[in-house]
Structure formats: structure tokens, C-alpha cells
Amino acid sequence: MPHQLEITLKSDLPDAQGETVKKRAYDYLGIALKRVQVIHVLAIDADLTPDQCEQVKRVFTNPVTQVSSFSSLPLYFDWTIWVGFRPGVKDNPGDTARETIVEALGIHFEPGQAVYTSRRYCLEASGLDADAADRIAAELLANDTIEQWKVFSNDQWRKTGGMGVVIPKVKLDHTPTVTTIPVESDEALLAVSNERNLALNPNDIPTIREYFLRKTVQAERTAKGLSGPTDIELEYISQARSDHCNHNTFGGYFRYTDLETGETQEIDSLFATCIKGPTLAMQEQKPWVVSVLWDNAGAARFDEAHSYVITGETHNSPSNMEAYGGAMTGIVGVYRDPMGTGRGARLVMGGYGFCTGHRNYGGDLKPKLHPRRLLDGVIEGVKDGGNKSGIPTTFGQVYFDDGYMGKCLVFVTAIGIMPAIIKGEPAHEKRTVPGDCIVMCGGRVGKDGIHGVTASSEVYSDTTPAGHVQIGDPYTQKKMHDFLLCARDEGLIRFITDNGGGGLSSSVGESAVFAGGCEVWLEKVPLKYEGLDQWEIWVSESQERMTVAVAPENIDRFFELSADHAVESTVIGKYTDSGKLHLMYDGETCAYIDLDFMESDFPQWRFDAEWVSPAWRGLCEPVLSPPQDYNRLLCEMLARPNICSKEWITRQYDHEVQGGSVIKPLVGEDRDVVSDAAVTRPVLDSEKGIAFSQALLPAYSQIDAYHMTTCTIDEAVRRVIVVGGPWNAIGGVDNFCWPNIQYDTTTNPDGKFKAAQLVRSCQALRDACEAFGIPLLSGKDSMYVDGHLAGRYGETRKVSALPTMQFSATAVVEDVSKCVTMDVKAPGDLVYMIGHTADELGASEYYAHLGFVGRNVPQVDTAACRAQYKAVATAIDRGLLASAHGIYRGGLGVHLALSAMAGMMGMTIDLTKIPCPTPLSDDRIIFSESPGRFLVTIAPEDKAEVETLFEGAVFACIGSVVEHPALTVNGSSGGPIIEVNVDELKQAWKEPFGDLI
């Protein structure tokens, strides 16, 4: 008989969780609650004696703070809401509870017996009606893709005598079956593809059919008892060919026309021409580039004994549907990439980038989640995923634009470190060998995450399967991470890769290519519950799993270590040299495909790209006279959503665990202003560090995605340089997030223009990286950032995001004691500006503030930038700069304010000293977003040395740091046009999100 234990805080203790629910009920739903108390429920599906129940009670109840009972706790409520997992959803607390009970009572749980955790909320609110209670349950407390709930009024509760014990056990009385798919015609196969949600590309279908109709193939298949393709084989092909895994868009053939000039280009693969080619060429010249373009992440030299490993991912579609689970799965998932790079890397830091609609959006569109809730969920997902992984989240950015309401963007980036050599072999090299065991480590396989890959290759709509949302489990993964590093160091790992998109289908399929074949025994794969079909086992994206190749002679030691670390590992097959991907279940073949079939020439995707220049689009500069009230203007600029303080997010993330923190995300006298970049010491007995930064500037795509891209790269590079990174050894990671670029007269009428924007962006990436000597250590693309949202009148409107590219920059800092922060340090210091300020306010924050877009988008002069980068980096290396800061969004005014706020000192600036190629009005100088610019402060006695060093770069001394804590800017008229106290500036900058914690 099952038992249910309810645990809650003693009545005299404040319930912080309950308070959060109360606050959100009001913030999200406008429902006022008097009091909320949370009860934690353990449902134990096992027979226990009264004594055993008492023992369990003792273990799980804190006598100091909690009360508990095996019958419902008699708390007062007007409404009570129970929320628990749906059957089959990973219940990690339940698992640890079972583990503990088994250990504490020395009992055994029968197969199928388990412990399930849930929560019961007691709501006090006068006059709360049933609908409101239901909304609180459905929209606030429960997460309908993974949780179920029950709502009771006080009366109902008393009448029914509570809700009884809920055991969400999965019961699938279903015998696993392999289905053969008819392929008599292309139409038939396409029909099956749609019906099974395979998302096969119609153009691929003839190639697929041709293979299965081939005489030789059929003969081999008959010998194995197979006829036409099986569902599992088509699932394998479908995910391997999906845009997410195969990057068909970037590998596509583009016909590009500039409608204004008539110039045309034919581009065979943006990936080959703009990313792969340049990077390989650079790898030739740069010995520090260790491994790029083939593994789960790129590797670069950290020191003689170590490489650092980096990759960046996005998790947009899942996060858009279920913000918390999607984002958490994103961060936990990207952490498996370095673990699966080379022989395996230890994770040392993470970064995030969130793009959503405005937090206070009040317009007509009704997205599944309002941006405020979506952002809160995403923030929380990355918090739990990152913090519980024990990996510092040292850098992040948030960008608001209502174009992201169709689909939000969640960028997650991971850096790891690995030895250069393991047991005499290069750690970044790996291959599978025929005879090696295929081992699956970590979590078990369930129905969760099926068709994730194919779904993320589609535009979000109501028919997108919610099944592909999972809850990441950082606890299970952390245990696996620790175990795998031990196995790695003992030389037990020959090959390792993660199970992410596509599950075993990807990890085994890709790793088998090295050996030249594989044989997998699907019945051996450990399942969360019985009843999965073979194809589901094969493509399930259940998280926290790695696939490892272990040589037979090492298998015993590998499993011994695995047991010591309480990690589940299973041999599920072996690598072969058969040339075949051979899947079996209970001895019967269910898939038998030539591995090189995926290499066969599937038709290349083709795109028409038509560029309409800003002029032809009718963009023009606004007609604008200089403002009078600069003080107010500057304060309101500082309060703009994309500029203001987001400290509440930063502080939720552990950015110091592992003990290597050098430059934190928040710096300055009061440790509350955003740093340009982060610096971490991944190897604690070394004085070397890794500088890391990211940038994204989607606003510029409104004018030209080419300049959006070069400006983004320039910003990321400057961010790394001002904290002390070298200017000439920077690695990059590109993450493209683009709307659908496939033209369609009715569903995507501007597809050709979006395609042209992508072409220009990729060519800009190539041009800037070549000019700055930046190899692309890693990169990913995520297309289809579009959504169809319900409008005011029951219509739906398609919303496409601004073309967005996040760029990450990393560099090794030789000596962290030379690092610099952006806060001004000492009164009397001289303020220098490096770089030209031009009439470049197109798509700037200033224009946006006034409701304009304009046309003069900032443009990167790579030659000038290089000189400026070098000047600043050299000055920092010589220890000459007291503070260094880049000038980014918002321009000079905003970034002077930030440096002053950080130092809690004043600055006096003379605008007439600012280097401008052509004369500019004061407001343009203050708010121009010209790239390549820096603000630095130096001790007066270093003036001569600094100025000689800066020769060859554009620079000027524009003022000084002063004791009196006010920012004073003198304009062209000579007199002060800005005079604001630092406190006032800071108040304005913090005000928008100041009440959030």
C-alpha cells in the first residue's frame, strides 16, 4: 500500500517559496493572494511498516523548521492546488528519496515501485473564484508539458477527504514493434513522413527511395529479414538529414542578386566559403588552434599542458514552448559538448544570451508565454542548470525586441579545459576501432525529447509536438562528468560524444563512421519504463547521456569506476568494420543501412537571395535638431531596457565557483556595473586566464546585416581586449539565429530578402575574421526564428525575429595580474578616447529612443580598428591603463556614465576634443555608435609614454577624472551641456528592473 508524506515549514517561519508564488500571481495574473504556503509531498509506492514510516519521517523532516505527517497536514486554505509530474517525467528528487529510503530501511523496492515527489499549495485569498484558482494552477504553478495538477476548494477538500495518494506511474502495455514503411511512390513516403512527423525534406525522398529500391541493397536486406525501410531507419535518416544536424541551409546553393547594382553572385555553400575555408587557412598559420570544425567543440591551446575547448548553442524552440525546461536543457546540454570533445574536457565556465519581447509588452499579440514569464522561466532554467552543474556563469547578455515574440532566442555557451596529452596520446584526437564496446553512460531513455531535432527545424505552430521538451538533470550529469574525467585520466576512453539532438541515432551513427560500422542491441538500452518502440529508443533525446567507445580490455575497469561514482553505464553494442549501421532488438535486425548512405549526394538546398539596399528600401536619416535637456535625455537613455542594469539576473548565477574568478560580471567600487568581459583562471596553479566576451547587435540588421555582423565581431573583440586579452590571438564562435529564408509567395514573401541578409552576414563574418585573424573555433546556426501569434481579432500574424548573430570571443591572458576593469580609479587621471566618432547613428539606441531607424549604420574600418586594438592591448600589457572600456550601444554618453558610476567618481569631458572625421553636432558625438572606440584613463605621469605608444592610432585626451562625483560634459559652445551626479545616473540606470531579485 502506498504512503504519502506531507512536509511543510513550521507556522512561525516565513515561507519564501510561498511568497514568490504570491508575488508572481499578482505580477503575472493580477490575482491578489493573502498568503501561500507550500507543502512538499513524497508519495512512496511501497509497503512500509508503521516503524519504517516513522524512520522515513525522521529522515525527511527537519525538527527545527518543519512539521510533517502521513495524513494531510491541517493547514488553513481557501483553495489548495496539488502539482505533480506527469507519468514518465524524470523525477530526480523522487529517485534520491527512493535511494535514501532503501539505504535507511535496508529494504528493496520491487521493479516498478518508486517514490514520487509533488507539491501542494495552500492559498489564502478572500473571494478567489474557481476560474482564478484554475489559472493560478495552470498558468503559474504547473508546467503543463511535464506536470499535472488538481484544484480543490476548502469545501471540496473536506467533502472528498483530500485527494488521496497519486502515483504517476507509466503504464504502457505496448509491445515494441518495428513497422515497415511502404515506398511504392514519393507521394506515399511523403505522406508517411508528414503523418509520423519525420519532417523529411521532399527533395530527399527520391534519393531515399532509390536506395531502398536498389537491387544490391534489397538483396542484403532480405538476407537480414528486412524488406522496405523500417520506421527506425527512416527516423535515423530524418534526423541525420534535419537542418539542425546537417545544416542544409548553410550548405545550400545561393543565387544572390543586388537589385540596385544588378550585381549577382552564385555561392555554393556559405559554410564552405565563409566559415570552413577561412578557418582552415588560419589554422595553418596559427599553431595555437588545436582542433576545429569536426568535433563537438573547438579546441585551442591554453598552455603547454592544456587546451581550452569552446562551443556555443541555442535552444530556442524548446525554451519558447516551456521556458524553464527548455533553457535548463539548453545549458545542461551545451555542457555535454566539451565533455564530448576529444577524450573529454572538464567544464570551467558558461555564458548566456537571452532575446525576448519586451518584459512589459502590452500589445495585441498573444504569445504562448508573455515575455515577462518567458524571461523569468529562461533565467531560472539557466540558473538551476548552471549552478547545480558547479560551473560558473561568468558572462551574459539580454536583448529585448518584440520581434522575438514569435520565437525567443536562448544562447548558451560552454568552455572546458583538457590536458594536451593523455597517456602519451593527444587528448583532442579520438577514433572508434572495430571491436570497441559502445557504452551508454548517465541517464535512462524515455519517450521524452522525441523529435526534438526535427521540431527545431520547423516554424513554431500549435502542431509542434510538446513532447520534445525535457527537464535537464544537472545532478545526474555532474556525477557522470566527474566519473568520465576519472576514466579519461586513466586512458579508458577511446572516443566520447554526447547524446543530444537525435539521441543514440546521432551519437552512435556519427561515431561508427570512424570504425566503419556498428552493431547495436537496442534491448540492452536501459529504459525509464517499458513499452518504447525500437525507433523511440533510437531517437529519444532523454538527457544526461554520453556515448563512449571503450576497448574490450578496459571495460572492467571502466565499469568499476562507473559503479564507484554511482553512474549507470551499459554496453549497448560494438563498433564493427561492416560498413553498416546494424540495429537489432532481441536478435532481430530492425535497421541495416550503409553508413555512407548519408554521404550520398542528397539534392543541395537552393535559395534565391535578393538584396534591396537601404536606399532602395527608402530608409533615410531623421530630421533632428540637437536637444536642450541633455541631463534628462542621458538618464532616460540609461534607463532603456537594452542598456539598463540587469543585476538581478547576474546575481542569481554562481559566477565564482571553481575558485578561478579574476574579472567578474559586475565590477567597480560598489560591484554593480557590468564588466566588458569575464576573465577566469581555469588552472588554479597557473597565472594564466581565459578572457571571454559576447556581443549581439540585431538592431543594425534593420539597415544592413553585413554591418550588423562586422560591428558585432568588433564589439566582442574590444570587450576581450579591454580586460587584458591579446589583440592578435583571439578565437571566435558564431551563433546565427535567422528567420526562414526559403521564399514562398504567401507564407514567406520576403524570404529572398532574408536570404540575402544571411549571405551578407556570412560574408561579413568571413571578411572581419580574416581582417582580424580570428579563427572560428566553433559555431552553430538555428534557422526558423519565426512564429504565428494570435492577434486582437482572432487573426494570426507571422512574427519574424531580426536576423541575429551572437559572436563569442576568447583569448588567453598570459598574466592575469595585468587585467583591467572599466571603472575609473583615481581623481586627476586623464581620460583618453581611441577611435573616430562619425555620423553613424543608424539603428542606434538614440534614434530608437526618438522613434527613428535612420540609415547611417555604423561601419567597421578593419585597418583602423586593428591599430586601435593593438594600441590598447599594448598599453594594458605595459600596465599603463587604470581603466579601459569599450564604447558600445548608446554611444559615448552612456559609456562615460557607466565608467563614472563604476568608479563612483566624476569626469569632466570636452566634446570639442573628440576625434571626428567630419564636424558633428553635440548629440551625434554623444550618441553615435561608431565601432572600434575605447575609453581609457591613465595617471598624468604616464601621458608621454601612452601618447607615443598610441601613435598610429586615432586618439585624443578628452578630459579627466574628478573627485566631485558628477559627470560634466562641455559642448561645442564651450559650456557644460551635461552635469549629472553619479548617484542620479546610477539611480536612472538601475530603476527599470530595480525591484527584481
Partner 1 sequence: MSSNVNALVLTGYGLNCDIETAHALTLAGATAHRVHINALLAKKVMLDDFHIMAFVGGFSWGDDHGAGVIQAHRMQSGIGDDLARFVDRGGLVIGICNGFQTLVNTGLLPGIAGEKTGRVRSVALITNDCGNFRDDWVSLSVDTASPCVFTRGMTSLELPIRHGEGKFYCDSTVLETLRTEHQIVMRYADRTGKPASGRFPENPNGAIDDVAGICDPTGRVFGLMPHPEAYVHFTNHPGWTRRKVKARRADQPFPPAPES
Binders of partner 1 among residues 353 to 412 (CB under 8 A) are 383, 387-390
Would you state the cell numbers that stand for residue 945, as one nine-digit string? 609614454
**Which lies closer to partner 1 via its Cβ, residue 506 or residue 821?**
821
**Which lies closer to partner 1 via its Cβ, residue 22 or residue 545?**
22
Task: Figure out which of the listed residues 72, 92, 153, 728 binds partner 1, where binding follows CB under 8 A.
Answer: 92
Quote the least distance from Cβ 529 to partner 1, whole Å: 21
Between 323-334 and 474-489, two packed helices, what is the crossing angle to 10 degrees? Answer: 0
**Which lies closer to partner 1 via its Cβ, residue 104 or residue 433?**
104
Q: Which stretch binds partner 1 (CB under 8 A): 295-303, 667-675, 696-704, 731-739?
A: 667-675
Q: CA-based Rg of the chain, rounded to a whole angstrom?
A: 29
Quote the least distance from Cβ 12 to partner 1, whole Å: 10
Task: Figure out which of the listed residues 565, 707, 780, 855 binds partner 1, where binding follows CB under 8 A.
Answer: 565
Q: Say how far apart CA 921 and CA 942 lie, in whole Å.
A: 32
Binders of partner 1 among residues 116 to 155 (CB under 8 A) are 117
Please report whether residue 566 would count as binding partner 1 according to CB under 8 A: yes
Measured CA distances, 138 to 134, 469, 645 (Å) = 6, 17, 32
Q: What's the chain's length in residues? A: 997
Task: Figure out which of the listed residues 16, 219, 863, 944 binds partner 1, where binding follows CB under 8 A.
Answer: 16
Q: How far is CA 944 from the centre of its chain?
A: 45
Cross-sheet strand order for the sheet of 306-314: 289-291, 298-303, 306-314, 409-419, 346-356, 393-400
Please report whether residue 919 would count as binding partner 1 according to CB under 8 A: no
- Give the dihedral sign, CA 68/73/74/78: positive
- Cβ atoms < 10 Å from Cβ of 675: 24
Quote the least distance from Cβ 654 to partner 1, whole Å: 5
100: which residues sit within 8 A by CB, 6+ positions away?
A: 59
Quote the least distance from Cβ 170 to partner 1, whole Å: 21
Q: Say how far apart CA 928 and CA 839 lie, in whole Å.
A: 6
Dihedrals phi, psi of 106, to nearest 5 degrees: 60, 35
Quote the least distance from Cβ 355 to partner 1, whole Å: 23
Residue 997: which of 293, 23, 1 has the closest Cα? 23
3-state DSSP of 272-296? HHHHHHHHHHHHHHCCCEEECCCCC
**Which lies closer to partner 1 via its Cβ, residue 394 or residue 778?**
394
Dihedrals phi, psi of 711, to nearest 5 degrees: -65, -35
Quote the least distance from Cβ 807 to partner 1, whole Å: 25
Binders of partner 1 among residues 532 to 551 (CB under 8 A) are none
Q: How many residues belong to the site for partner 1 (CB under 8 A)?
A: 71
Would you state the cell numbers that stand for residue 52, as one nine-digit string? 519504517
Over the window 937 to 966, marking each residue x when it contacts partner 1 by CB under 8 A and - when it does not, the resulting string is --x---------------------------
Q: How far is CA 421 from the centre of its chain?
A: 30
Quote the least distance from Cβ 348 to partner 1, whole Å: 10
Binders of partner 1 among residues 697 to 726 (CB under 8 A) are none
Please report whether residue 19 would count as binding partner 1 according to CB under 8 A: yes
Q: Which stretch binds partner 1 (CB under 8 A): 70-78, 82-90, 645-653, 943-951?
A: 645-653
How far apart, in Å, do the first and last CA atoms of the chain sit?
Answer: 44
Binders of partner 1 among residues 321 to 340 (CB under 8 A) are none
Please report whether residue 671 would count as binding partner 1 according to CB under 8 A: yes
30 dihedral zone (left: phi>0; alpha: psi -120 to 50; beta):
left
Quote the least distance from Cβ 241 to partner 1, whole Å: 37
Report CA dihedral (205, 207, 211, 213) to the nearest 10 degrees.
Answer: 60
Please report whether residue 654 would count as binding partner 1 according to CB under 8 A: yes
Quote the least distance from Cβ 59 to partner 1, whole Å: 5
Q: Say how far apart CA 368 and CA 323 lie, in whole Å.
A: 10
Please report whether residue 877 would count as binding partner 1 according to CB under 8 A: no
**Which lies closer to partner 1 via its Cβ, residue 220 or residue 877?**
877
Q: Say how far apart CA 396 and CA 408 lie, in whole Å.
A: 16
By DSSP bridging, strand 393-400 and strand 346-356 are parallel
Task: Figure out which of the listed residues 1, 50, 51, 63 binds partner 1, where binding follows CB under 8 A.
Answer: 63
Q: Which stretch binds partner 1 (CB under 8 A): 272-280, 444-452, 681-689, 794-802?
A: 681-689
Task: Figure out which of the listed residues 325, 330, 660, 932 binds partner 1, where binding follows CB under 8 A.
Answer: 660
Quote the least distance from Cβ 877 to partner 1, whole Å: 15
Binders of partner 1 among residues 813 to 832 (CB under 8 A) are 816-817, 819-821, 823, 825-826
228: which residues sit within 8 A by CB, 6+ positions away?
A: 180, 181, 182, 183, 212
Please report whether residue 879 would count as binding partner 1 according to CB under 8 A: yes
Binders of partner 1 among residues 65 to 84 (CB under 8 A) are 65-66
Please report whether residue 97 would count as binding partner 1 according to CB under 8 A: yes
Task: Figure out which of the listed residues 73, 104, 107, 620 binds partner 1, where binding follows CB under 8 A.
Answer: 104
**Which lies closer to partner 1 via its Cβ, residue 83 or residue 816?**
816
Task: Figure out which of the listed residues 11, 13, 47, 795 binds partner 1, where binding follows CB under 8 A.
Answer: 13
* Buried residues in 5-41 as b, exposed as e (16+ CB within 10 A): bbbbbeeeeebeebeebbebbeebeebebebbbbbbb
Please report whether residue 667 would count as binding partner 1 according to CB under 8 A: yes
Binders of partner 1 among residues 898 to 917 (CB under 8 A) are none
Task: Figure out which of the listed residues 662, 733, 765, 811 binds partner 1, where binding follows CB under 8 A.
Answer: 662
By DSSP bridging, strand 666-667 and strand 966-970 are unpaired
Task: Figure out which of the listed residues 556, 564, 596, 983 binds partner 1, where binding follows CB under 8 A.
Answer: 564
Quote the least distance from Cβ 785 to partner 1, whole Å: 30
Please report whether residue 685 would count as binding partner 1 according to CB under 8 A: yes
Q: Which stretch binds partner 1 (CB under 8 A): 90-98, 209-217, 247-255, 437-445?
A: 90-98
**Which lies closer to partner 1 via its Cβ, residue 565 or residue 754?**
565
Binders of partner 1 among residues 264 to 323 (CB under 8 A) are none
Are the CB atoms for 909 and 861 separated by under 8 Å?
Answer: no
Report CA dihedral (189, 190, 192, 197) to the nearest 10 degrees.
Answer: 140
- Give the dihedral sign, CA 323/324/330/333: negative
Residue 279: which of 264, 294, 301, 258 has the closest Cα? 294
Over the window 777 to 816, marking each residue x when it contacts partner 1 by CB under 8 A and - when it does not, the resulting string is ---------------------------------------x
Please report whether residue 8 would count as binding partner 1 according to CB under 8 A: no
Three-class DSSP category at 644: coil
Q: Say how far apart CA 53 and CA 71 lie, in whole Å.
A: 12
Would you state the cell numbers that stand for residue 243, as one nine-digit string? 537542418
Q: How far is CA 902 from the centre of its chain?
A: 28
Please report whether residue 653 would count as binding partner 1 according to CB under 8 A: yes
Please report whether residue 51 would count as binding partner 1 according to CB under 8 A: no
Binders of partner 1 among residues 471 to 490 (CB under 8 A) are 474-475, 478-479, 482
Quote the least distance from Cβ 286 to partner 1, whole Å: 27
Task: Figure out which of the listed residues 156, 207, 613, 658 binds partner 1, where binding follows CB under 8 A.
Answer: 658
Q: Say how far apart CA 555 and CA 470 lie, in whole Å.
A: 31
Would you state the cell numbers that stand for residue 542, as one nine-digit string? 532523454
**Which lies closer to partner 1 via its Cβ, residue 301 or residue 688?**
688
Question: Side-chain half-sphere of 891: how many Cα atoms within 13 Å?
Answer: 29
Q: Which stretch binds partner 1 (CB under 8 A): 657-665, 695-703, 704-712, 945-953?
A: 657-665
CA angle 309, 564, 417 (to 5 degrees): 10
Binders of partner 1 among residues 164 to 203 (CB under 8 A) are none
